[in-house]
Amino acid sequence: MARVSVVVFDVGETLVDEMTTYLRWEAEGLTDGIPFTDQDLHADALPCLAALRALGRRLGAAGNMRAWHEDFLRPYVDFVGSSERWDVWKPDAGFFEHVVEEAGVPANEIAYVGDRVDNDVLPALAAGMTAVRIRRGAHAADETPPGVVEIESLAELPEALDDV
């Protein structure tokens, strides 16, 4: 297997804490249409991105989301993508074709990290990527398919990637 050179993150619940975000929006009287901010990130997100960068991995963030969320993520990764800008939504294979194009390497050098089996893990595997499942949030009870790397915190990711 080719060594993973590019790590691409789903956004909702993988990097962004959706519950915290939605509660903030509600408390501030805001509704959909407000970009994410640093305070919406899971506490393990930025340390993980920094650690992977220090290890020389190229990083991406791409999720089913509005395009206006891309700017917030751009400082922390090498490329960003959104279903709105790409006009294709996970789990559609076309979404993962965009990821490969942006990553600039063959699919078997990409690890896609996500919380959902249906939208992240299965289509990433179908695209020829390594899939990493982070078990948290509303979909935490779903079973991770056999053979797929599973983590419970992004703090585990740098070491977990040593094995793939």
The sheet that has 149-151: what strands, in order across it? 79-82, 58-63, 6-9, 110-114, 130-134, 149-151
In the list 13, 70, 102, 109, the residue contacting Mg ion (rule: CB under 5 A) is 13
Residue whose CB is less far from Mg ion, 118 or 159: 118
Site string for Mg ion, 101-140 (x = CB under 5 A): --------------x-------------------------
Work out whether 18 is an interface residue with Mg ion (CB under 5 A): no
Site string for Mg ion, 67-106 (x = CB under 5 A): ----------------------------------------
Three-state SS sequence of the chain: CCCCCEEEECCECCCECHHHHHHHHHHCCCCCCCCCCHHHECCCHHHHHHHHHHCCCEEEEEECCCHHHHHHHHHHCCEEEEHHHHCCCCCCHHHHHHHHHHHCCCHHHEEEEECCHHHHHHHHHHCCCEEEEECCHHHCCCCCCCCCEEECCHHHHHHHHHHC
Residue whose CB is less far from Mg ion, 13 or 17: 13
Residue of this chain nearest to Mg ion (CB atom): 12
Work out whether 17 is an interface residue with Mg ion (CB under 5 A): no
In the list 9, 12, 90, 151, the residue contacting Mg ion (rule: CB under 5 A) is 12
CA distance 131 to 114: 8
In the list 6, 8, 9, 10, the residue contacting Mg ion (rule: CB under 5 A) is 10
Residue whose CB is less far from Mg ion, 19 or 55: 19
Report how many residues bind Mg ion under the rule CB under 5 A: 4
Question: Which spans of this chain sit near Mg ion (rule: CB under 5 A)?
Answer: 10, 12-13, 115
